[in-house]
Chains A and B, each alone.
Chain A
Amino acid sequence: MQLFVANLVVARGGRTIIDDLTFDVAGGEALLLTGRNGAGKTTLIRALAGYLRPIAGSVRLDGFDPERDVREACHYVGHLDANKASLSVMENVAFWQGYLGDGGSGTAAGDALWAALERFGLDALADIPAAYLSAGQKRRLSLCRLLVARRPLWLLDEPSVSLDAASTVLLADVIGEHVAAGGIVIAATHLPLGLGAARELRLGEQVAMS
């Protein structure tokens, strides 16, 4: 599996944010996007997930079912948690598992759900409405999505925001395992995630600030 990004140009509000960017990421690799505020980290991630239509250039994922859209290979964890306050922790994860996953159900899906909750330390809170979670717990709840539905390409936008030190290490472990299993992780971050072997792509060097 390999992600090719060729001559990508993306504009926001009439201003070119990403100008002629070319890179590729192979399966089993993690890529860290760094750069100052406004350098285009979120813009690049949202363009890769297909939310923003690029002005020029292409995004191609080799090794994924060519009949299906690239977005169906993506996990996106952004600034917003995408959890419903009035659903319990378990209901939130179960919905995304069914919605994003391949529709598998029964005991295997239930086991995967519990494993993800335990992994992120939310198993004791499974029946609590998500409204009562702290910011860090809400973040861990949205990270559970990554584990319950198998998808090769993870697009993470500041995934460690509001996580404590132990949870950040846990996140790095989870990312490491995904990469070791041949997946691709692209993470925008200000903070070092503790990913040893990750490549780094510095954005914004070429963009002149007005």
Chain B
Amino acid sequence: MSGFMRLLRRDLLLAWREGGALGTALGFYLVVVALMPLGLGPDLNLLSRIASGILWVALLLAALLSLPRIFETDADDGALDVMALGTLPLELVAGAKSLAHWISTGIPLAIMAPVLGVLLNLEVRAYPLLFATMLAGTPAISFLGAIGAALTIRARRGGLLLALLVLPLYVPTLIFGITAINAALLSPDGFAASFLILSAISLVSVVLGPIAAAAALRTQME
């Protein structure tokens, strides 16, 4: 088994054993989405029109809550220092940890989104679209988020700083995630263009995110 797989397995095991982070993210997602109809009133047409946007924005915020965990615990207990001495390049360390974050947080959030769609009167035919765009878009959230998480490991209470650093990077994912859904609802062939761009953003993030995160980790370790 390679170092990459070992690290991925360890991080997933830790996420499973210390389930608090995922529970917090899912709970936050549920609460934010449940508050929307209370604030906006029981206008079903309005809710179903803005449902996909609310679900996407709330997903970004929920994922943001769990981002610090990618590197912070390992930086605090010194494990990151020892990891830097392995044969695995730091870029792949960052990649494995981002991937573990996507599997342990991004996928559960994407699975939960259609369930929460019920609360917002989301159109039935939008459910598979919502799930597909979120599954394609969440890798960008984990891998771009890793850059911000790496930059803020030494900042005490760095959560707010992390949000300021990372949320602007999520704008393209948000825009194309929502346009893919809306376009598909208007015309059956409107989905592909936005969805492909969304996937491309995620693929670019998977490549560039770990490189930038590793550079940030190197400076943070000094």
Contacts and interface: CB of A to CB of B under 8 A. Distances in A.
Interface in B85-143: 85-88
Given A51-B221, A52-B222, A103-B2, A84 B14 contact: yes
B183 interface: no
Interface in A109-145: 145
A84 B18 CA distance: 11
B84 interface: yes
A76 B2 contact: no
Interface string A73-85: 0111011111110
A82 B83 CA distance: 9
Contact of A79 (B1, B3, B13, B78): B78
Contacts of A91: 13
A173 interface: no
Contacts of A68: 87
Interface string B60-78: 0000000000000000111
A50 B81 CA distance: 10
Given A51-B221, A80-B77, A86-B18, A98 B88 contact: no
Contacts of B82: 76, 82, 96, 100, 145
Interface string B1-34: 1110011001001100110000000000000000
B1 A99 contact: no
A96 B77 CA distance: 14
Contacts of B79: 82-84
Contacts of A98: 1, 3, 6
Interface in A55-95: 68, 71-72, 74-76, 78-84, 86-87, 91, 95
A171 interface: no
Nearest to A145: B82
Q: How many B residues are at the interface, by size bracket? A: 20 to 34
A82 B82 CA distance: 7
Given A81-B77, A81-B78, A86-B18, A95 B6 contact: yes
A156 interface: no
Given A51-B222, A87-B14, A99 B77 contact: no
Contacts of B14: 84, 86-87
Contacts of A75: 85
A167 B93 CA distance: 33
B73 to A, nearest CB: 8
A147 interface: no
A168 B88 CA distance: 32
Interface residues of A, number: 29
B17 A76 contact: no
A98 B82 CA distance: 13
A176 B103 CA distance: 45
Contacts of B78: 78-82
B3 A99 contact: yes
A43 B157 CA distance: 26
B222 A99 contact: no
- Which of A68, A72, A95, A99 has the most C-beta atoms of chain B within 10 angstroms of its own C-beta? A99
A87 B86 CA distance: 20
A134 B174 CA distance: 47
Contacts of B85: 49-50, 71-72, 74-76, 100
B17 A86 contact: yes
A51 B83 CA distance: 11
A206 interface: no
Contacts of A76: 81-82, 85
Given A51-B81, A71-B84, A82-B79, 9 more contacts: A50-B85, A51-B84, A72-B85, A78-B81, A80-B77, A80-B78, A83-B77, A87-B13, A96-B82
17 contacts: A49-B85, A50-B85, A51-B81, A51-B222, A68-B87, A71-B84, A74-B85, A80-B77, A81-B78, A82-B77, A83-B77, A84-B10, A87-B14, A98-B3, A99-B83, A103-B1, A145-B82
